[in-house]
Structure 1
């Protein structure tokens, strides 16, 4: 959630993410922090390069968790969590990354270590995740279909 809040603060987003407002804020920030505005060798240019990368990453991240994006991809997400099993998962900080057998990978934000341990110890991990994680936490698709092939 720290990452979400950082990016929301960067783009001055209060509650819900509106894609039109986000795009306007993105364009303004890119204009303000574009490295080409600064002279070669200027220390501000290096700062601008870092900021511009952060702006681009933040924009793509916020678009991926926006309600409009989630609504557009809801059918695909529902199919994945209902029909595809879990291939692999890993937990870092409060982010649970789940790779599914259909090749998609989703990140779930706010999943604490205690819940992750319950998932690991569950005898039916997919069922546990489906009931307690998949529809309860903020999520985003983090990797495009990599089409996992059976060995």
Structure 2
């Protein structure tokens, strides 16, 4: 959740933003902070390099969680969450789940208590479908080997 809020703040987003608006905001920010605009010895050049990397990372992240992206990939997502879970990791409020089909998704905002219940569940997939998969913000972070 922290990362989502940081990137939304960087792009000046209050709520969900369309991909078209996000792209134009991204272009404006890149123009403003492009490292080539600053002299090589200038202290702003280093800051611009870091800021431009942050802008690029933020753009790709926000595109991956955008409602339009989710709608376009909903069929593949539903197919993936119906395959068995083979691995999972929890750090902070982020749950990373790897499925048998090779896809890995991050779910944001999953607290420790829910993660413990998830781990103790007899049927991981069933518990996750009911309590995590369709409740929390998610993004695909790794594609299956077949797709790549």
Question: Considering the TM-score relative to the shorter chain, is it more than 0.5?
Answer: yes
Structure 2, unpaired ranges of 5+:
none
- Preserved contact between residue 8 and residue 14 of structure 1 (Cα < 8 Å): yes
Paired residue for 2:142?
Answer: 143
- Counterpart of 2:52? 52
What is the distance in 1 between the residues matched to 2:140 and 2:11? 21
Q: Residues of 2 paired with 1:79 and 1:25: CA distance? A: 33
Q: CA RMSD in A?
A: 0.9
Aligned to 2:71: 71
Secondary structure (helix, strand or coil) at the match of 2:40 reads coil
Is 2:94 aligned against 1:95? yes
TM-superposed CA distance for 1:146, in Å, is 3.0
Q: CA deviation at 1:130?
A: 1.2
Number of aligned positions between the proteins: 146
Quote the Cα distance in structure 1 between the aligned partners of 2:51 and 2:143: 26
1:64 is displaced (CA, Å) by: 0.4
Aligned equivalents of 2:139, 2:41: Cα separation in 1: 38
CA deviation map 1:81-113 (0-9, x unaligned): 12x100100001100000100010100000001
Query: 2:127 maps to what in 1?
Result: 128
Structure 1, residues 112-142: CA drift from partner, whole Å, max 9, x if none?
Answer: 0110011111111111111100001000111
State the distance in 2 between where 1:144 and 1:46 align: 33
Partner of 2:103: 104
Is 1:35 the counterpart of 2:35? The answer is yes
List, as ranges, runs of 4+ consecutive aligned residues in structure 1 with deviation greater than 3 Å: none
- TM-score using structure 2 length: 0.96
Q: Deviations over 1:22-51 (max 9, x none)?
A: 001000000010111111121111111110
Q: Distance in 2 between matches of 1:19 and 1:111?
A: 26
